[in-house]
Structure 1
Amino acid sequence: MSVSFDFTGKKILVTGGSQGIGLDISKRLAKSGARVYALARNETALKALVDEFPTVTPIVCDVSAKSAVIEKALKPHHPFDGLVNNAGIAILQPALDADQESIDKILTVNLRAPIVLAGIIAKEMISNGVKGSIVNMSSQASLRPIDDHIAYCSSKAGLDMATRVMAREWGKSGIRVNTVNPTVVLTEMGKKNWSDKDKAGPLLQQIPLGHFAEPNDVTSSVLFLLSDSSSLTTGSALPVDGGYSAN
């Protein structure tokens, strides 16, 4: 069954919006009538998205940049009705071998950047009386420990808590903030990284539904949380993990 949403007239910013899950989210939002603003570092990938969906506005920016740089890139486009903090990275290391450079990179992109982006967007929402929705892309790795994911698990668990703080502080202004927490998602990169049955098998055995997520599974959950269909949902984590985190 296909779920449809109507975002006609809504302005929504998607970080990491030019590839993977972010690209799927950008396209689905554009098809649903939203005025999509796709923020990413890859100017070529953004151009390809705009060629396919001319209504999409590209914003070339690195989410790990200083807040002043991000603010300058976003200034012409405020206010937004929604934000999807999708940009993220993973560097897999066991706890004994985690190095400071990798830890800093992961925490900067996966935790600091969403907090900074959400603050910039929410401040303008409040100033303009916009009762908006923010969706932070988390992971099943925030809910259960996973080997060789020390910094990644920590960054996503931190993002879940940051989301609850945002929801608590900004709720009085009508701003909702939630996370989507997917399992492995079978984007092109996901397929490449998890095509090895020996690698995928042990994880799949822990998923009651027995399979990984397709991009559409995650995108539909994001659109639900952006939409008025979830008007009383805030501070929540929505697992899209086939039951992994509850098993």
Structure 2
Amino acid sequence: MTTRKRSFPTRIILLLFRLSIYFILVTLLWVGLYVFLPPPVTATMLMDDNGITKDWISLSDISPNLTRAVIAAEDSKFCSHDGFDKQAIFKAIEHNRQGKRIRGGSTISQQTAKNVFLWQDGGYFRKGLEAYFTFLIEKIWGKKRIIEVYLNVAETGIGTYGAQAAAQRYFKKDASALTKFESARIAAALPLPKKRAVNGARGFTRRYGNTIAARINVVKNEGLDDCVYK
């Protein structure tokens, strides 16, 4: 009895199918592990020539002021979207299409997926992977875990990562003791942590920090942090 040999296109399709299954299984395991374990290091950290200063702490040890400041600054719809703020994405696309200064439309969930599992640059391919990992962490982690991981891995200064490292570096205190003003100053620097000063901020960064500080109570009073604290 002879075995019919598969054609080359068929073999390619089968190979791609197997690779897709392996990819899904590996990424599900990877994301699942981080439900319980802190991500030990990220690609951004490994590629940072300034070294790595970080100290993982639980969400309960981070001041709600900082959580609310980050929501106010980065993603006011964090608790209501499914990982993607479609309105912000469309606005960013239109803004960039007009040839203006490039603006992103990433949510905290997307930023967390990128920071933990991927790298900073990479165009549409990386954005596609980012969307995939964002979907996974929204379904597997939930909002509290997402914000907890984000606040521990986000770059908060040159060679500085996470809330605790930032609080110690800039204010010589634990992240649990951050005031509204201090939290707002950290949040204001998040989009460009290597360029924006936390201490001694001037110009736009200073004004932006003051705006964030004023919005912290709005986040609390309007329940924009309900998925984190209720």
Same fold (TM over 0.5): no
Structure 1 length normalisation: TM-score? 0.23
- The higher radius of gyration belongs to 2
Higher strand fraction (1 or 2): 1
Higher helix fraction (1 or 2): 2
The higher relative CO (CA closer than 8 Å, separation ≥ 6) is in 2
